Amino acid sequence: MSTALEVAQTVTDPELPMLTLADLGVLRDVRTEGEQVVVEITPTYSGCPAMGVMRADLVHALHRAGFADVDVRTVLSPPWSTDWISDEGRRKLAAGGIAPPGPATRHTGPIPLSLGPTRRTATCPVCGSADTEELSEFSGTACKALRRCRTCREPFEHVKEI
Amino acid sequence: MAHEETVYDALDHAHGGEGQWAFGTGFDDPLAGVDTTIPDGVDAADLGAYCLMLGDDALVLCQRLTEWATRAPELEEEVAIANCGLDLLGQARLLLARAGSCGVLGRSRQHATDSIPDEDALAYFRDPDEFVNHQLVEADGGDFAQTMVRLLVASTARLALFVRLRESRDPVVSAIAAKGVPELTYHRDHAARWVLRLGDGTAESHRRAQAAVDAVWPLTADLFTATDVERRLVEQGVAVDPAPTRDEVRDVLTMVLERATLTVPAWPADRPSPGRAGEHTDELAPLLATLQGLAREHPAATW
C-alpha cells in the first residue's frame, strides 16, 4: 500500500497538468496526525483560482487510496516562489512547451521600480534558441508571461519569476 | 463517503452536499488551516476594520479593472489587466476572510444566508456606506490612460504599505502582505511602463496621459492620513502608518512622470480619507450594483 505522501505526490496541477503539485512546490507537507492525514498546500498567487480544485483532487486521490480522514490546509507563509519548482518540474515544463523560470529576486527593503523591459533569459521550448522576446508579462494564467522566439517565430509561455 | 467518483463529488462532499455556491468562492475557506488566533493585546474589531480597508481597496479596484474585459486596446493588454485584477481579488478575498474571522461583518449578515462564507457576505451584501475603500479606487476608470495612471498610483501606495506590513504582528496580515508584494511589484511596473509609453508617445497619447494625471492627482490627498483604527494598530505593531510612506510614493510617481515627459501637478494637501469613513462619491453605488447584483438576486444559487 502506498503512503499518504506517495499518493499526494501523484496529484497533478489543474492548470499545468504535466506537473505534480509536488513538482510545482505547492505541496508543502503531508503528515499523519492520529488517524487523520494532514496535507498542506500553498497558493502560487493570492488569487489562484485553482486552490479549490487542488484541494478536492488531493482529497479524492487520498480517499481512493483508502485514507478516509483527510484535512487539506492552506499555508500562506512563507509565500510560494518559483524557486520551489523542482528540477524535475522544470524539465517537465520545458518538455510541455513552457519555458521554466530563472532565479527569483528577493528584496528586503523598498522595491526598485523597473521601467525597462524585463531582462530575462528564456530559451524557446520549440527550437531551443536563446533569442526570445517578451510580448507581455501576463499570460493565460497569473504565473506565466508571454514570449516569442525571434528565430522560429513561435509564441510560447514562460513561468515568470516570483 | 470515502470513495467519491469525481472531483465534483469530492467538492460537494466537502461542503455538506450543498453544491457550489454560484460565485465560485464557496469551494473552500481561503484561510482553511491558517491559524487565525488574534495576537495578544490586539483588538479584534480594530484588526477586522483594518483588513476591511485594505480588502475593499483591492476589491473595488479589481472591479474597475475588470470593466476592461472585452474592451482593452489589445488582447495581451486585456489579459494583463485581468491578471492584475485577479491578484487584487485574491488579496481582497484573504483580507475580507480575515475581517470575518475577527467578527467584523457589518450589516452584511442581515442579508446573506448562512451558507455564504464571510468574505462573500462582506463583498456582496454590504451597502455602499459600509465600504471603506479610498475614493481613488472607485472613481470611474475613464479612458485607458486614466486606468493606467490610477493603477500606477494605487499600486505604488499599496506596495509601500505591503512592504512594511510584512513585519505586522498579525501573522495573517503579514502573510497576505508578503504574498502581495511581488504581485503589486508586477502591477506597478506594468502601469509605469504604460504611463511612460503614453506620456512619451504621440501628441494625443501625451494629452490624454496628462489629463489622466490631472484627474487622478487630487485623490492622492486621501492616502497618507491614518484613521483612528490605524493609529491604534500602529502602536500595537499590526498596522502601518501611511504618513511615512508619502515621500517614497511621491518620489516613485514623480520619477515615472518626469521620464514620461508629463507635468507633475501640485500635490494636494493631505486630508483624512472620506472613503475610510464610508463617505463615497456617486460612482461607487453603480459599481457595487454590478458587482453585487447577481449574488443578491440569487443568494442560494448553485451551478
Q: What is the rounded CA–CA span in Å between residue B117 and residue B95? A: 13
pLDDT at B30 over 50: yes
**What's the angle, vertex CA B134, arms to CA B130 and CA B140, rounded to 5?**
100
- Give the pLDDT band (50/70/90) at residue B5: low
Touching check for B79 and chain A: CB below 8 Å?
yes
List, as ranges, residues 53-82 from A with C-beta within 8 Å of B: 53, 55-57, 59-60, 63-64, 66, 68, 71-80
A27 bridge partner residues = A41
Distance, CA of A147 to CA of A7 (rounded, Å) = 35
Cα dist. A17→A24, A39, A61, B7, B284 in Å? 11, 20, 15, 15, 40
| Mean pLDDT estimate for chain B | 89
Q: Is B33 left (phi over 0), alpha (psi -120 to 50) or beta?
A: left
Higher pLDDT, residue B30 or A89: A89
Q: Using CA atoms, how far apart are residues B38 and B269, in angstroms rounded to an integer?
A: 36
Sign of CA dihedral B74, B78, B81, B87: negative
| Closest alpha carbon within chain B to A145 | B80
Q: Per-residue confidence at A136, pLDDT binned at 50, 70, 90?
A: confident
Give the model's pLDDT for residue B3: 46
| Residues forming beta bridges with residue A146, ordered by sequence position | A136, A157
Per-chain mean pLDDT for chain A: 89
Please check the confidence at residue B8 and state whether its pLDDT lies above 70: no
Confidence of residue B33 (pLDDT cuts 50, 70, 90): confident
Q: Which CATH number fits the domain B41-295, given the four candidates 1.20.1260.10, 3.40.50.11540, 1.10.10.10, 3.30.70.3270?
A: 1.20.1260.10
B66 at A interface, C-beta within 8 A: no
Is the CB of residue A79 less than 8 Å from the CB of residue B94? Answer: no
Residues 6+ apart with CB under 8 A from B288: B127, B128, B131
Residue B26 binned pLDDT confidence (cut-offs 50, 70, 90): very low
Residues B44-54: pLDDT tens digits? Answer: 999 999 999 99
**What is the residue-wise DSSP string for B99-168?**
HHHTT--TTGGGTS-TTS-HHHHHHHS--GGG----HHHHS---SHHHHHHHHHHHHHHHHHHHHHHTT-
The grid coordinates of residue A2 equal: 502506498
Cell 511621491, residue?
B250
Residue A140: its pLDDT value, please? Answer: 81
How far apart are alpha carbons B82 and B86 in whole angstroms?
6
> CB within 8 A of B222, min separation 6: which ones?
B134, B135, B136, B271, B272, B273, B274, B275, B276
Q: What is the pTM of this model?
A: 0.89
Which of the two residues, A2 and B224, has the higher pLDDT score? B224
Residue A8, phi then psi, degrees to nearest 5: -60, -35
Q: Where are the domains of chain B?
A: 41-295
- The residues that bridge with B298 in the sheet, in sequence order, are none
Contacts of B68 (CB under 8 A, 6+ apart): B77, B78, B81, B82, B141, B144, B147
Residue identified by cell 453585487 is B292
B125-167 pLDDT per residue, tens? 999 999 999 999 999 988 999 999 999 999 999 999 999 999 9
CB-based contact A113 B252, cutoff 8 Å = yes
* Chain centroid, CA B202 distance in Å: 32
Arithmetic mean of pLDDT, A142-154: 90
Q: How far apart are CA B254 and CA B165, in angstroms?
A: 24
| Whether the Cβ atoms of residue B20 and residue B28 lie closer than 8 Å to each other | no
Distance (Å) of CA B300 to CA B13, B53, B124, B240, B260: 17, 27, 13, 38, 49
Q: Which residue would you say has higher pLDDT here, B121 or B23?
A: B121
Residue B278 binned pLDDT confidence (cut-offs 50, 70, 90):
very high
Question: Taking residues B92-116, what's their average pLDDT?
Answer: 86
In B, which residues are within 8 Å of A71 by CB distance? 33
Each residue of A12-25: b (16+ CB within 10 Å) or e?
bbbbbebbbbbbbb
pLDDT digits (tens, 9 = 90+) for A119-128: 677 889 889 8
Report CB contact under 8 Å: A136, B76: yes
